[in-house]
Structure 1
Amino acid sequence: MTLPRPPLKVALAESVNALPRGAGLAYEPKFDGHRMVIFRLGGEVLLQARSGRIVTAAFPDLAAAALQLPDGTVLDGEVVVWRDGRTDFAAVQKRAAATPGRAPALARALPASYAAFDLLAEAGQDLRPLAYEKRRARLVAVTGSLGPPLQPVPMTLDRAEAEGWYESLPAIGVEGLVIKRLDQTYRGGVRLWRKLRHTRTHDAAVVGFTGAPARPTALVVVLPDDDTPVVSSPMQPGLRGQAAGLLAGRVSGAGGVAVATGLGEVAYRAVEPGVTAEVELGTTRHTVTTVVRLRFPEELD
Structure 2
Amino acid sequence: MSAEALRPPLAVALAEAVATLPRGAGWAYEPKFDGHRMVVFRTAERVVLQARSGRIITAAFPDLADAARELAPGTVLDGEVVVWTQGRTDFAAVQRRAAATPARAPLLARRLPASYAAFDLLAQAGRDLRAEPYERRRARLVEVLGPLGPPLQAVPMTTSVETALTWYETLPASGIEGLVAKRLNGPYRSGHRAWRKVRHTDTREAVVIGHTGGPNRPAALVLVLPGDDVPVVSSPLPAALRAEAGRALAPLAAEGGGTAVAAGLGEVAYRAVAPGLLAEVEWATTRHAGATVLRLREAGGEAGG
TM-score range, shorter chain: over 0.9
> Who is 1:150 aligned against?
152
Q: Which residue of 1 aligns with 2:258?
A: 256
Report if aligned partners of 1:94, 1:274 keep a CA contact under 8 Å in 2. Answer: no
Rounded to whole Å, the distance in 2 between the matches of 1:205 and 1:186 is 30
Aligned with 1:68: secondary structure?
coil
Instruction: Give the aligned partner of residue 36 of structure 2.
Output: 34
Partner of residue 6, structure 1: 8
Match runs of 1:80-229 below 5 Å: 80-229=82-231
Distance in 2, Cα, partners of 1:146 & 1:42: 18
Letter in 1 for 2:159: L
Structure-2 residue corresponding to 1:276: 278
The 3-state SS of whatever aligns with 1:248 is: helix
**3-state SS in 1 of match to 2:103:** coil
- SS of the equivalent of 1:192 reads strand
Displacement, 1:285?
A: 12
Alpha carbons 2:233, 2:262 under 8 Å: kept: yes
Q: Which amino acid counterpart does residue 269 of structure 1 have in structure 2?
A: R
Query: 1:287, CA displacement in angstroms?
Result: 1.3
Take 1:238 and 1:94, find their aligned partners in 2: how far apart are those partners? 28
Name the CA distance, whole Å, in 1 between partners of 2:115 and 2:170.
21
Deviation at 1:176, TM superposition (A): 0.4
Task: Name the counterpart of 2:246.
Answer: 244
Compare 55-64 and 245-254 and name the one that shifted more: 245-254
1:37-93, Cα deviation, whole Å (9 max, x unpaired): 000012200000000000000000000000010010000000010000010101100
Amino acid at match of 2:117: A
**CA gap 1:284/1:127 in 2 versus in 1, 3 angstroms:** closer
| Structure 2 segments unaligned to the other structure (5+ residues) | none
The answer to whether the 8 A contact 1:80-1:112 is kept is yes
Distance 1:195 1:99 in 2: 33
Aligned counterparts of 1:68 and 1:42: Cα–Cα separation in 2: 11
Structure 1 residue 284, shift from structure 2 partner: 8.2
Query: Partner of 1:16 in structure 2?
Result: 18
Distance 1:41 1:250, change over 3 A: same
- Alpha-carbon distance change, 141 to 282 in structure 1, aligned in 2, over 3 angstroms: same
1:66 is matched with which residue? 68
Identity %: 68
Please state how far the C-alpha of 1:274 moved relative to its aligned partner: 3.4
What SS does the corresponding residue of 2:219 show, helix, strand or coil?
A: strand
CA distance in structure 2 between the aligned counterparts of 1:198 and 1:298, rounded to whole angstroms? 22
Secondary structure of the structure 2 residue equivalent to 1:283: coil
| Code of the aligned partner of 1:8 | L
* Structure 2 SS opposite 1:212: coil
CA 1:267–1:185: 2 relative to 1, 3 Å: same
* Paired letter, 1:180: K
- Per-residue deviation, 1:108: 0.5
Residues 1:284 and 1:250: Cα distance change in structure 2 (over 3 Å) = closer
C-alpha distance in 2 between matches for 1:35 and 1:285 = 15
Are the counterparts in 2 of residues 156 and 162 from structure 1 also a CA contact under 8 Å?
A: yes
Using the size of structure 2 for normalisation, the TM-score is 0.96
In the TM superposition, what is the alpha-carbon distance from 1:286 to its structure 2 partner?
A: 7.0
Instruction: Measure, in 1, the Cα distance between the counterparts of 2:112 and 2:16.
Output: 31
**What displacement does 1:297 show?**
1.5
Gaps (5+ residues) in structure 1? none
1:20–1:61 Cα change, 3 Å: same
What is the CA RMSD across the aligned residues, in angstroms? Answer: 1.3
Q: Is the CA contact (8 Å cut-off) linking 1:93 and 1:274 kept in structure 2?
A: no
| Post-superposition CA distance 1:97-119 (Å, at most 9, x none) | 00111111100000000000000
Inter-partner Cα distance in structure 1 for 2:205 and 2:62:
25
Does 10-19 or 250-259 show the bigger shift?
Answer: 250-259
Q: Secondary structure at the match of 1:157?
A: coil
- Aligned pairs, number: 299
Shift of 1:243: 1.1
Equivalent residue letter for 1:2 = S
Secondary structure of the residue that 2:241 maps to in structure 1? helix
Q: Relative to 1, partners in 2 of residues 1:196 and 1:50: Cα closer, same or farther, differing over 3 Å? A: same
